[in-house]
Chain A
Amino acid sequence: MNTEIRFSGFGGQGIIRCALITGKALSLYDDKFATMTQAFGPEARGSACSAQLVVSDEKVLYPYITAPAVLMALSQEAYEKYHGEVIEGGTLIVDADLVKTREEHPGRTLWKVPATRFAEELGNRMFTNLVALGFFAAVTGVVSDAAMKQALPGLVPDRFLKINIKAFEKGYMHGLEVTKLDTAEVPAA
């Protein structure tokens, strides 16, 4: 069974990096198969940015995502563009301060994480993606936190490794806390 994930936001938020870190964590350290694709065409220009990951216990045959179970949207535009494709039982993760969710998402779990705010508290909003990734790992359970931390060297600059791990842990701990508070909203699958 495949799990399809879309990471989205605007250019500069480290969206592609989110998919690279998660894909590397899964396929090198969590014993899964992960195939990552990203848009390269005109649709990749301008402000919107998206990277896709197909995760499986077996070799991935179809490279693209068709029915994402998880959407991370760190910008309003990304949320508007992609929220409709999340499957029933799926999960939406949005930045609490940057994305206004207009509607209910029946049958889906919506999480709002103050990723940008937390990153600013850590000293720089460039750590937003790692806060969001930590939260993502905690609430979805798709990937282990140990594998994610193992995947970071080489994908973030060495001099920022420690602070990125800190950002990941901040998001991860927040994710664990909110899931404890809100267990009823956690999807069964």
Chain B
Amino acid sequence: MTEATLKADPKGVLTGVHFIDGDHAACEGALAAGCRFVAGYPITPSTEIVERFAARIPKVGGVFIQMEDELAASIAIQGGVWAGHKVMNVTSGPGLSLMMEHLGYAAMTETPCVWVDVQRGGPSTGLPTLPAQADMMQVKWGSHGDYEIIALSPNSPQECFDLMIKAFNLSEEYRCPVFLMMDEVVGHMTERVNIPPADQIEITDRKWTKKKPGEYKAYATTSDDLVPEMVKAGDGYRIHVTGLTHDERGYPAMDVPNQAKLIPRLLNKIRNNTEQLLDVRMDGCDDADVIVMSFGITSRVATAAIEAARAKGLKVGNLRLIICWPFPVKLIQQLAEKVKAFVVPELNMGQMVLEVRRAVEGKVKVISIPHPGGTVHEPETILEQIIEAAR
């Protein structure tokens, strides 16, 4: 990889120990990561993120604009990227549904940006103030055409800060939309958050080209590195950015050969790096009979259930996804060789469990613990299914 690693700009880093909620911590993570432009159309339960950003950004040095709707918000941020800024798009399910066209645009134009989805109960306007994890498939498949994104799932305000920085860094490294998949509980729960000094926060710089105008092609890549170099408007480069299928110069080239070259590259720049993009927490998985796979707020409740199951003498592994997309297929396949069953609690009616089933190909039992959302699972519900799975 050729991107430069920098230290965070101290202006955006609120170093110290705080007692703040996940939304506020996410905002501080974005500021620490170098986000200096947000165009927002606020929606519960994500509102506090942009509210804080709007209050903080004049002092840090940047811009917040309240837009007229979600379409405008999700495309204005991409203009900000091509003007050279790091940007974030903040919303919840109903807003995200309206933004799907521009998700595809960001993927197609390889515009590095972070999308925050503070998930609430759906579909439609659903449960504005209550949690769900039911947008997991939407972010992966919601826009039309073939594309890849990266998605991270924090389970505490501290992780809203930490993973926000990681999300920004990954978006620069891979030049794709990166999602921070929060939920209403994590967004609104208040806990201790430690923000380190700026010189301890590593920031991935944009992959700026060193080529001169005239030599530079906006979408030229090599077989070793599928991520093109970038420029910004106003630096003397003539660039063309389009959602149409384009050639190496970025010009529309709507034909079979260019489609056949572009689309596999957009997918493979992520798919070829699934090992580097593996980020999970594993505890007790080596000799487990049953593995509980979870993410986000559910991983905390699942941990309570796992501890209770272990107290009963059961061998239960705890597998928590930090990066949910790309899904860790190989890891699940390796674990499937050793365990009797997977148990998958999630605050939806069974989404990521489909990925587990797809990976294990029927070799072991996969038990879904769905939940329509509005609250979290009771640990006892998960415990019952662990006991059932261990039989």
Interface residues of A (CB under 8 A from B): 19-20, 23-24, 27-28, 33-38, 40-41, 44, 60-64, 151
Contacts and interface: CB of A to CB of B under 8 A. Distances in A.
A23 B191 CA distance: 8
B44 A40 contact: yes
Contact of B375 (A23, A40, A64): A64
**6 closest pairs, A vs B, by CB?**
A24-B19, A41-B129, A36-B190, A40-B129, A27-B192, A61-B304
Contacts of A23: 19, 190-191
Nearest to A22: B19
B376 interface: yes
B188 to A, nearest CB: 6
Contacts, number: 61
A35 B192 CA distance: 8
A27 B191 contact: yes
Contact of A63 (B45, B127, B129, B189): B189
Interface residues of B, number: 24
B130 A34 contact: no
Interface stretch (B240-248, B295-303, B319-327): B295-303
A35 B190 contact: yes
B19 A20 contact: yes
A38 B130 CA distance: 11
B304 A62 contact: yes
A135 B17 CA distance: 27
A18 to B, nearest CB: 13
B300 A63 contact: yes
A34 B304 contact: no
B291 interface: no
B19 A63 contact: no
Nearest to A32: B192
A34 B190 CA distance: 8
Contacts of A35: 189-191
Contacts of A60: 191, 300
20 contacts: A19-B190, A20-B19, A23-B190, A23-B191, A27-B19, A27-B191, A34-B191, A34-B192, A36-B189, A36-B191, A37-B185, A37-B190, A40-B44, A40-B129, A60-B191, A61-B301, A61-B307, A62-B304, A63-B376, A151-B19
A77 to B, nearest CB: 20
Given A23-B19, A24-B19, A27-B19, A37 B188 contact: yes
B192 A28 contact: yes
Interface string B281-309: 00000000000000001001101100100
Contacts of B185: 37, 63
Interface string B169-191: 00000000000000011001111
A60 B19 CA distance: 15
A97 to B, nearest CB: 30
A20 B19 CA distance: 8
B379 interface: yes
A40 B188 contact: yes
Contacts of B44: 40
Contacts of A151: 19
A59 B172 CA distance: 33
Given A28-B19, A40-B44, A63 B297 contact: yes
B8 to A, nearest CB: 22
B190 A20 contact: yes
Contacts of A44: 129
B273 to A, nearest CB: 31
Nearest to A151: B19
A38 B187 CA distance: 11
A19 B190 CA distance: 10
